[in-house]
């Protein structure tokens, strides 16, 4: 695991003095924060997340009834979207939603930053992460992929800014993730104003994370370089994709953001997600080289 080191700026006189003395100028602050998991840790994660444990974790959380803006997905299977199971910084079993995306290593999953590490707390990263694409009612039809590395913006680790992550997963039975389920293309720099379909596995009743739900609507600008849509999905949907130009028959669109947070702890009516800018692109690029 990599710790984050903050580098302060030298004043102009101090920098000049350092150069006169032959010292190297300070290195730029890191853009990304990365965590790697050993082969043993990945095997332990697979052993930990039995089908029984995956199904049981939904029973530990009830965030109220599913809201009127959230619908059950009844179309063709969206194979790229699944549940990301993990043990959080408090040692609790929980989950997020994540998405297989196109990448050079055919192994990248996109989610929210808070799905892989605690914000504003560089050392509080999560353990036992596995991705089950296409998860539905206790079944992982395309396999369970252990996470070998996570990447977030350093700004998320340090200051809870830019809530996005990219994860690299191991192959299952010799097959890379997107060879098994396909991958959504990712668009960086997409500004608010377009229509999206947002997917997730919220912990609301009666589904309790066992079924794929969705909201659909037009994005609009939100504070802190985010965008929002009308949506009342609850926790558990975090990290789920916002897909522009979504085709229900193929289950494919273009990922333009991910579920980050609502506008209230209870009875939220909007979902916000980050605009995927230059930093998100570096996060993605680093993951596809992992």
- Mean pLDDT calculated for residue range 66-78: 96
The 10 Å Cβ neighbour count of residue 168 is: 24
Convert the pLDDT of each residue in 101-121 to its tens digit: 999 999 999 999 999 999 999
Give the Cα separation of 234 and 237 in Å (integer).
6
What is the strand order of the sheet 226-230 is part of? 220-222, 226-230, 270-274, 261-262
pLDDT at 268: 85
Please say whether the dihedral angle defined by the alpha carbons of residues 89, 113, 2 and 106, taken in this order, is positive or negative.
Answer: positive
pLDDT at 211: 97
Convert the pLDDT of each residue in 195-253 to its tens digit: 999 999 999 999 999 999 999 999 999 999 999 999 999 999 999 999 999 999 999 99
What are the angstrom distances between the C-alpha of 254 and each of 140, 165, 196, 246?
Answer: 23, 17, 9, 7
Residues 73/199, Cβ–Cβ less than 8 Å: yes
pLDDT averaged over the chain? 90
- My answer on whether omega of the bond before 206 falls inside 30° of 0, hence cis, is yes
What is the strand order of the sheet 252-258 is part of? 71-72, 213-218, 195-200, 241-247, 252-258
Give the Cα separation of 210 and 135 in Å (integer).
8
pLDDT at 26: 61
- DSSP-assigned letter for residue 58: G
Query: 64's torsion region: left (phi>0), alpha (psi -120 to 50) or beta?
Result: left
Q: Given the DSSP bridges, would you call strands 81-87 and 220-222 parallel, antiparallel or unpaired? A: unpaired
What are the angstrom distances between the C-alpha of 226 and each of 78, 153, 237, 261, 266?
Answer: 25, 15, 17, 10, 20
pLDDT at 224: 92
Residues with Cβ < 8 Å from 212, sequence gap 6 or more? 72, 73, 78, 81, 135, 136, 199, 200, 201
């Amino acid at each position: 695991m990599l710790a984050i080191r903050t580098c302060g700026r030298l004043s102009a006189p101090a920098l000049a003095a350092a150069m006169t003395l032959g010292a190297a100028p300070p290195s730029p602050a890191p853009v990304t924060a990365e965590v790697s998991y050993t082969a043993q840790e990945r095997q332990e994660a697979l052993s930990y997340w039995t089908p029984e444990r995956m199904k049981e974790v939904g029973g530990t959380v009830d965030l109220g009834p599913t809201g009127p803006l959230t619908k059950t997905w009844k179309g063709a299977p969206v194979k790229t979207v699944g549940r990301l199971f993990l043990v959080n910084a408090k040692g609790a079993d929980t989950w997020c939603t994540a998405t297989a995306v196109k990448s050079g290593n055919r192994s990248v999953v996109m989610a929210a930053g808070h799905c892989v590490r605690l914000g504003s707390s560089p050392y509080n990263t999560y353990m036992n992460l596995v991705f089950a694409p296409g998860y539905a009612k206790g079944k992982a039809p395309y396999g369970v992929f252990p996470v070998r590395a996570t990447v977030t913006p350093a700004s998320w680790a340090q200051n809870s800014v830019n809530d996005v992550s990219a994860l690299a997963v191991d192959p299952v039975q010799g097959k890379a993730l997107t060879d098994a389920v396909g991958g959504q293309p990712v668009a960086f720099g997409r500004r608010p104003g377009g229509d999206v379909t947002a997917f997730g596995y919220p912990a609301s009743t009666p589904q309790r994370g066992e079924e794929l739900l969705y909201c659909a609507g037009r994005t609009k600008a939100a504070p802190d370089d985010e965008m929002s849509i009308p949506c009342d999905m609850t926790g558990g949907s975090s990290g789920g994709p916002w897909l522009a130009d979504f085709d229900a028959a193929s289950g494919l669109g273009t990922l333009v953001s991910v579920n980050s947070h609502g506008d209230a702890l209870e009875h939220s009516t909007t979902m916000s997600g980050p605009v995927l800018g230059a930093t998100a692109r570096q996060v993605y690029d680093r993951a596809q080289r992992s």
